[in-house]
Amino acid sequence: MATTTGVYHTSYRADLALRHTRLEYVRLALALAVVAALPFYASPFWLHVLDQIGIAVIGAIGLNILVGYTGQISLGQGGFLAVGAYSAGVVATKSDLSPLVGVLVAVLVTAVVGAFFGLPALRLKGLYLAIATLASQQIIVWLIVHWDFLTGGVDAIVLEPATVFGWTPTGDFDWYWVIVGFAALATITATNLFRTGVGRAFVAIRDHDIAAEVIGLDPARYKVLAFAVSSAFVGLAGALTAYWTQILTWERFTLDVSILYLAMIIVGGLGSVAGSIYGAAFMIAIPAYLDQLSLRVSAESILATDLPAIKLLIFGLTIVLFLVFEPRGLARIWQRAKDYLRLWPFRY
Amino acid sequence: MDTFIQLTVAGLSNGAILALAALGFVLIYKASGVINFAQGQFLLIGAYVVWALTVDAGLHWALAVAGAIGVAIVLGLLVERVILRPLVGEPTISVIMVTIGLAQVLGALVQIIWGTEPRAFPEFIPDDVVTVGGARMGENRLWALGLVVLALVVFAVFFQRSRYGIAMRAVADDQQAALTMGISVRRTFALAWALAGVSAVVGGILIANLIGVSGEVSNIGLLVFPVVIVGGLDSVPGAVVGGAIIGLLTAYTGGYLGGGLDAVIPYVALVAILLVKPYGLFGEVRIERV
Amino acid sequence: MKLRIGAVALVLALTLVAGAQSRSTAPAIKIGAIFDRSGATSDVGVPYSDGVLAYIASVNSKGGVKGRKIQLLSQDTGYNVARSEAFYQQLRTSGIVAISGWATADTEAFKARVAADRLPYVSASYAESVANPSDTPYNFFIAPSYSQQMRIALKWISRQNPGQQVKVAVCYSDSPFGRSPLEDGKRYIESKRLPMSYDTQCAMRPGGTDFTAQLTRIRDSDYIIVQNTSAPASTLAKDAARLGMRARIVLLNWAADELFVTLAGAARAGAVGIQPFGTTALKVPGLKAPTQWLQSHGGGSIHRKGIHYVQGWYTTAVLIAAIRRVVAQNEDVNGPNIKTALETMPAIGTGGVTASIKFSKSYHAGQRGSRIFQVTRGRFRQIAPLTTP
């Protein structure tokens, strides 16, 4: 209940609600309206970028569940995306099952693989876990490149266009709705996850896992579960990548991709689903914008001749500057903006 | 048997180079607890600066190496001051990511300044073939081995006898206590990063000597992880032993099994060690206190 | 806070810089180009892409194609398929009529797409798998395929050792590019019943610094065929020399160049190169145009720049020749017409740099043979004329 002196809740249900004030509902409606209207106004290039962002949102939410909410560092995102994508790819090319089955298989397989690679988390923390996941990333990619019979090795797997219930999404416009649908599903699932006991257990493990164990949470169970749940989201993102791009090569899933996703959730805000969305959009839109820019400047300018280096530089600088000046990311910046407006003319 | 000796020698000499690259990493971790994901780029910058000073500016190689060491020290100090100081106390993930971001920035700067064309490294390390116990290897590998042994001895003495070395160990053990004893933690960190810069220049020179001066020099940065995990993140002898083990494993796999397996075996070794002895062979076991 | 404002200001400044753009009044002909100037194959990608850019610039300096300038939309995608793919998406909605491609991985990944989008794709990848128009109707490349080069190498080896059993090993980049000719080499040996043993376990890890271990396995080989770019090939040569191996090194086209000679040092002596584009030291009229352009535009000597510059130059020349033909026949400059022009146009001479280049409706590789060279006294010199397997 919003009053002039603040927001008060008079029931547990109200306390757990996702939105508390009318203003928040209005903002949500506006955001949804923008998301619905975007594909009609975007140029083909930006529509393609939006589709990429949509898939990245799902992956970023997954990673944030693991890293932001449960505090387990993972450098293996690229590898898990690969598992999801190649599972879907194998289902698509080696059987006639519906793409929905492919997606389901991808989600389940990736969750299992994620749980397996999460086992080191039971013994390792922080830095050691990060390095273990780095190793898992390299090993998974190597397996994909060398496991010819299953994956096509260094050659690409090419998928036929996906058809569900007689409808084949063709082109980025159709895919936008599919991707946004899944992204919305992922967002709602993740948000609700943290209203449940399981979600709270994850957060407890992040904050102080020894204390969590003392009060009766089984850290082993919840850590592995965190890896599994996170990987399920990532598997979904991987499967969508497979069906959308229709061409699967191992280069899509290298360490650079893992780093990109980590950058997304750090820039966006650890431990925040909205942050994952902002971070994904930010880290994909900026290089895309630079690409566009480079095509319009003269060929002599440094942007055109050194484009990859400039993109790399800006990528690195973004990470460093955010971490030095606003470690809690875009979500925090947005929160501060909202607070400023809400509390004005007071400072806090 | 012949093959075995050849592979052993090749593996050890590669391991020596890995150990030198890993040394800087260990120093930084030992002193400040920071994992430097930008170590590969430090090697890269070391190699490029030596090349630039020798070939572009025409300096004698000894001056070029000294110059590069100077640049590396300055870079190390800058990084410590500007980027890592503000992140003291932040969660591990943030510190890891900031060094990853730094790695990208440094790599990009090298590309922008010097371009991407591979170049031949100035030949001041002799490359004649030397036969050791029936195995052949280049003299530059012998240099690598020699330098590693030298580094091992120097650092052993440094950490046991020198005031600064002992101060570094104190800071690594307990910063608060070190501060109360009057040790300047800031200077210790700075020293660690400076020393890491020096070892990066040496490592970078050795690698560029083998494969030429190009962006590929920084790839060895990733192989440093298996080395330091196997050896122990905060142990200098560990880095040397780890380097030897990873070098030998890679050589034997590549030589006897082929098929590209040697690319993945360091990471398998890494995972294996983490499951069996997480702190590495020589690392200090961290006991977690509530 | 201040630094953050500074970062935003930087991006804004870049945007303002972008405002300086030239406009052309005649309808330009747009071609897309994917380069590798910073990735795993940038050692050869940089001069190649410079050659492409140079040829386009030289055409435009002479007024373009019948008054229409050629506009090149290019990007360095660093040998990364995902980035090339994103760029391709950008390109196909930018009104291009053809693409100058680079990597084998990209070419394989796009072959269905360019056929669907009907965009002729002239690649620097010479993988045999994209030479067959019934599989890949819109892919073209102007050199003999990697498999063809492998066959030429094997034929040369068998000619050097008539009737004798030889041990041949192949060291290749652990990538689609590297693996492309392996199977076809095996088949050639079997079909010609050559007395050769053929080892293909020497995979060169991209970014590897030392190949001693792999070489130790094949220590007693007589010949090592290398399918890789010049920088790793030179490391391999040096490692082999250090091991005292007697094997003769046979380089396929992406390794047989001046950069190899520079980087390999003393180990270069005697290395054989299957190089369809020859060397910059050949005295042929076809080298005049690229040499002069390079000189007059501050690029220095063509010997330093290397043969891949000439390769990029002539690859683009073939594509532009097809476009000229379309324009001369007063047809629309679009993908399908350029494809037909490429298939039907008469053989194109390159002034002796290569054999004449001719495509057909059934084969999209422009040449079938190559000259063979060997490094003697510090340079690649011709040791065999045009050889076909």
Which residues are CB-neighbours of A303 under 8 A, at least 6 positions away? A290, A293, A294, A297, A310, C14, C17, C18
Instruction: Verify whether the Cβ–Cβ distance C20 to A298 is below 8 Å.
Output: yes
Query: What pTM did the predictor assign?
Result: 0.84
| Chain A residue numbers touching C57 (CB-CB < 8 A) | none
Q: Kindly determine whether residue C203 and residue B207, on different chains, have CB atoms separated by under 8 Å.
A: no
Q: Do C43 and B117 touch (CB under 8 A)?
A: yes
Query: Nearest CA of chain C to the CA of B4: how many Å?
Result: 9
**Residues with Cβ < 8 Å from C343, sequence gap 6 or more?**
C133, C359, C360, C361, C364
Which pLDDT score is estimated for C112? 79
A139: nearest CB among B90, B264, B274: B264
Amino acid of residue A11:
S
pLDDT for the residue A112: 95
Looking up tokens 């090795």 gives A153
Answer for the pair C17, A294: CB distance below 8 angstroms, yes or no. Answer: no
Nearest C-alpha neighbor of B30 from the set B196, B184, B203, B157? B196
Query: Look-up: residue for tokens 């010049």?
Result: C230
Partner-chain contact B254 C213, CB within 8 Å? yes
The C-alpha atoms of residue B72 and residue B38 are separated, in whole angstroms, by 13
Phi-psi region of A6 (alpha: psi -120 to 50; beta: other; left: phi over 0): left
Please tell me which of A154-158, A290-294, C229-233, C315-319 the model is most confident about, judged by mean pLDDT.
C315-319
Asked whether the beta carbons of residue A297 and residue C93 sit closer than 8 angstroms, the reply is no
pLDDT at A237: 96
Report the C-alpha gap between C70 and C66 in whole angstroms.
10
CB A170, CB A161: distance < 8 Å: yes
Tell me the ipTM for this assembly.
0.85
pLDDT recorded at residue A151: 63
Chain C residues whose CB is inside 8 A of the A318 CB are 7
**A252 to C113: CB separation less than 8 angstroms, yes or no:** no
Paired tokens of A84: 């999801």
Q: pLDDT-based confidence at B247, cuts 50/70/90?
A: very high
Q: Please give the residue that has the higher pLDDT: either B236 or C312.
A: C312
Q: Does the pLDDT at position C211 exceed 70?
A: yes
Tokens of B76: 């190390």
Rounded distance, CA C45 to CA C309, Å? 9
| C225 beta partners | C170, C250
Mean per-residue pLDDT for C52-71?
91
Query: Which DSSP letter does residue A119 get?
Result: G
How far is the CA of C214 from the CAs of A73, A142, C198, in angstroms?
Answer: 36, 18, 15
Using the structure block, give the residue that is written with the tokens 């973004």. A318
Residues of C engaging A, defined by a Cβ cutoff of 8 Å: 1, 3-4, 7, 14-15, 17-18, 20-22, 37-38, 53, 73, 75-78, 80-82, 85-87, 89-90, 93-94, 105, 108-110, 112-113, 174-176, 179
Touching C: which chains, 3+ CB pairs < 8 A?
A, B
Its sign, for the CA torsion C311, C315, C316, C320, is positive
CA-wise closest residue to C46 among B246, B115, B37, A13: B115
Judged by a CB distance cut-off of 8 A, whether residue A309 touches chain C is: yes
pLDDT of residue B78: 87
The owner of tokens 């002895």 is B277
CB atoms inside a 10 Å sphere around CB A218? 13
C292-311 pLDDT tens trace? 999 888 888 888 888 899 99
Distances from the Cα of A137 to the Cα of A76, A168, A257, A316, C70, angstroms? 5, 33, 10, 21, 43
Confidence of residue C20 (pLDDT cuts 50, 70, 90): very low
Cβ neighbours of residue C116 closer than 8 Å, sequence gap 6 or more? none
Closest-CA residue to B253 (of C213, C221, C175): C213
Distance, CA of B129 to CA of C162 (rounded, Å): 34
Q: Is the pLDDT of residue B60 over 60?
A: yes
Q: Select from B137, B212, B262 the Cβ nearest to the Cβ of C231.
A: B212
Which chain C residue has its CA at the smallest distance from B249's CA?
C213
Three-state SS at C202:
strand
pLDDT tops 90 at residue B79: no
Q: Is C219–B3 a contact, with Cβ atoms under 8 angstroms apart?
A: yes
d(CA A234, CA A57): 10
**pLDDT of A283:** 94
C140 membership: H or E segment, kind and range: strand C139-140
Residue of C nearest to B250 (CA): C213
**Confidence (pLDDT) at C184:** 92
Residue of A nearest to C174 (CA): A154
| Chain B: touching chains (3 or more CB pairs < 8 Å) | A, C
**C133-146 pLDDT tens trace:** 888 899 999 999 99
Nearest by CB to residue C207, choosing from B118, B127, B216, is B216
Distances in Å between the Cα of A33 and the Cα atoms of A27, A28, A39 are 10, 9, 11
Task: Give strand pairing partners of A248.
Answer: A157
Residue C130 is given by DSSP the state: G
Portion of chain C with pLDDT greater than 90, in percent: 42
| pLDDT for residue C24 | 46
Between CA C12 and CA C8 the distance in angstroms is: 6
CA nearest to A306, candidates A329, A322, A320, A290: A290
Candidates A259, A201, A318, A200; CA nearest to B93 is: A259
Low-confidence ranges of chain A (pLDDT < 50): none
CB–CB of C380/C146 below 8 Å?
Answer: no
Nearest to C175 among A154, A318, A324 (CB): A154
As a whole number of angstroms, the distance between CA C165 and CA A179 comes to 60
Contacts of A133 in chain B (CB under 8 A): none
Contact C235 B11 (CB under 8 A): no
Q: How is B203-244 classified by DSSP, letter by letter?
A: HHHHHHHHH-BSGGGGGHHHHHHHHHHHH-TT-HHHHHHHHH
Distance between A319 CA and the closest CA of chain B, angstroms: 5
Query: Is B102's CB within 8 Å of A320's CB?
Result: yes
Q: Is the CB of C3 less than 8 angstroms away from the CB of A325?
A: yes
pLDDT per residue as tens digits for the range A150-190: 666 556 677 777 888 878 888 788 899 999 999 999 999 99
Decide the pairing of beta strands B129-132 and C121-122.
unpaired
Tens of pLDDT, residue by residue over B119-142, are 878 777 777 777 777 777 777 778
- Please give the DSSP secondary-structure letter assigned to residue A19: -
> Among C37, C203, C265, whose Cβ lies nearest the Cβ of B258?
C203
Nearest to A308 among C3, C38, C174 (CB): C38
- Count chain A–chain B contacts defined by CB atoms under 8 A: 131
- H or E stretch at C98: strand C98-100
Helix (H) or strand (E) holding A188: helix A171-193
Residues facing residue A247 across a β-bridge: A158
Q: What is the largest CA-CA distance in chain C?
A: 77
Question: Which residues make Cβ contacts (< 8 Å) with residue C359, sequence separation at least 6?
Answer: C140, C342, C343, C345, C365, C366
**What is the helix, strand, coil percentage profile of chain B, to 5?**
75, 5, 20
pLDDT digits (tens, 9 = 90+) for C359-371: 998 899 999 999 9
> Which of C46, C75, C125, C183 to substitute to test the interface with A, most A CBs within 10 Å?
C75
| For C174, nearest residue in chain B (alpha carbons) | B260
Q: Least CA distance to B130: which residue of chain C?
A: C242
For residue C197, the SS3 value is strand
Contact residues, chain B, for A329 at CB < 8 Å? none
The pair of three-digit structure tokens given for residue B91, joined into one six-digit string: 């969660």
- Confidence check: pLDDT of C282 > 90: no
Helices and strands per DSSP (H, E), number in chain C: 14, 12
Residues of B whose CB is below 8 A from A306? 111-112
State whether the Cα torsion A200-A205-A208-A210 is positive or negative: positive
Give the model's pLDDT for residue A333.
Answer: 94
Interchain CB distance below 8 Å, A127 and B92 = yes
What pLDDT is stored for residue A288 in this prediction?
87
Of A120, A134, A327, nearest to B94 by CB-CB distance is A327
Tokens of A156: 């690409």
> A229: closest CA among A106, A75, A65?
A65
Q: Which pair of structure tokens corresponds to residue C310? A: 């000439």
Please state at what angle helix B2-32 crosses helix B163-173, rounded to 10 degrees. 80
Amino acid at C251: L
Q: Is A280 exposed, middle or buried (0-12, 13-18, 19+ CB in 10 A)?
A: buried
User: What single-letter amino acid sits at A307?
Assistant: L
d(CA C218, CA C239): 12
The proportion of chain C whose per-residue pLDDT surpasses 70, expressed as a percent, equals 93
Mutate to test the interface with A, among B82, B98, B233, B288 (most CBs of A within 10 A): B98
Percent of chain B past pLDDT 70, that is, above it, reads 98
**How far apart (Å, rounded) are the C-alpha atoms in residues B271 and B265?**
10
Sheet containing C379-387: give its strands across: C196-204, C166-173, C223-227, C248-251, C272-274, C370-376, C379-387
Q: Which of A149-158, B157-166, B174-183, B203-212 has the lowest mean pLDDT?
A: A149-158
Q: Phi and psi at residue C95, in whole multiples of 5°?
A: 85, 25
- Considering only CB atoms, which chain A residues are within 8 Å of C18? 293, 296-297, 303
Helix or strand or coil: residue C71? strand
Q: Residue B178: what are its φ and ψ, rounded to 5°?
A: -60, -40
* Per-residue model confidence (pLDDT) at position C2: 57
What are φ and ψ of residue C119, in 5° steps?
-120, 115
